[in-house]
Structure 1
Amino acid sequence: MTEREPFRTRIKVRHYELDTLGHLNHAVYHSYGEVARLELLEAAGGLAGFTAEKLAAVLLETHVVFRRELRAGDVVDVTCDVKFGSGKTFRMDSNIVKVDGTPAAEITCTLGLMDLERRKLVEDPRARFEAAGADLKLLSTAE
């Protein structure tokens, strides 16, 4: 049996994203992770269900480990993989990898699903993703 690959999206580093040292600004790594998270949620098909149920994914914590610098014109693949556990939170992990295979960064995020009317996190986010019609196998390689 082969291991499934996580969702990925491709991004080109733009000149205006660079810092004074000529490499990708640290905050932009977070933006790249956000792009991958949102594109995964859209591709998995749960966003319409979240809107109908008045739910939204909210970022609670994010951590980046920088491995290699990125410069203007570099092209990267940004992965995203959901890890459900017990409780109200879940993780969305991303890797930023140059197209030549060089790891550039690892991003770990903790999120929750917020009930937009109650302004509280919901119980069992995995079940809520499933009820919203999201493709759990696309969201998570562990499914």
Structure 2
Amino acid sequence: MEPITLSVRLDDLDSNGHVRGPAYLVYADHARWLTAAAAGVGPAVLSARGVGPVNLETTIRHLAELRADDQVTITSAYEWGEGKTSRVVQWLHRRDGVAVAEVSSVCGLLDLTERRLVPDPAGFWREHATRPELLGLA
């Protein structure tokens, strides 16, 4: 998938001067939304179809410091199976190429009327995406 680059904001920092854990989740989530929109399945499409993505489990592995004035590049890999969930593994790197974190998420697609996971999320994304390859569905 195409990498996404974001700048570290001052309010992302903790008292030690490095990026606090929740900011990594925001970076990863933002990159997933940008990728979905680039694939042609933005929030309006999802809302019109009565579904929304949900995170069921997320793990962060911190590998190196990310600090003020850094930029972070996020690369995402989507893993689709046969069930109701998928996995997204995202790698975050500083501009010098050093890996700073790995974020792994188990995701689903929630039917907002039934309040249940869509049985075939890969099929939904493949059907509605104009660029399914961005979601690992080529």
**TM-score, normalising length: structure 1:** 0.90
Q: Which amino acid aligns with 2:34?
A: E
Paired with 2:130 and 2:106, the residues of 1 have a C-alpha distance of 19
Partner of 1:74: 70
Equivalent of 1:9 in 4, 10, 15: 4
**TM-score, normalising length: structure 2:** 0.93
Equivalent of 1:138 in 110, 130, 134: 134
Paired with 1:31 and 1:118, the residues of 2 have a C-alpha distance of 27
Q: Which amino acid aligns with 1:64?
A: I
Partner of 2:107: 111
Question: How big is each residue's C-alpha offset from its partner over 1:43-80, in whole Å with a ceiling of 9 and x where there is no partner?
Answer: 11023432221111111110000000011001110112
Residue 124 in structure 1 maps to residue 120 in structure 2 = yes
Percent identity of equivalent pairs: 34
Partner of 2:91: 95
Alignment size in residue pairs: 137
Structure 1 contact 88–122 (Cα < 8 Å) conserved: yes
Q: Which amino acid aligns with 1:30?
A: L
Question: How big is each residue's C-alpha offset from its partner over 1:10-49, in whole Å with a ceiling of 9 and x where there is no partner?
Answer: 1111222111111101111111101101101111102343
Q: Which stretches of structure 1, 4 residues or more, deviate above 2 A after TM superposition?
A: 47-52
Paired with 2:47 and 2:129, the residues of 1 have a C-alpha distance of 12
Q: Which amino acid aligns with 1:100?
A: D
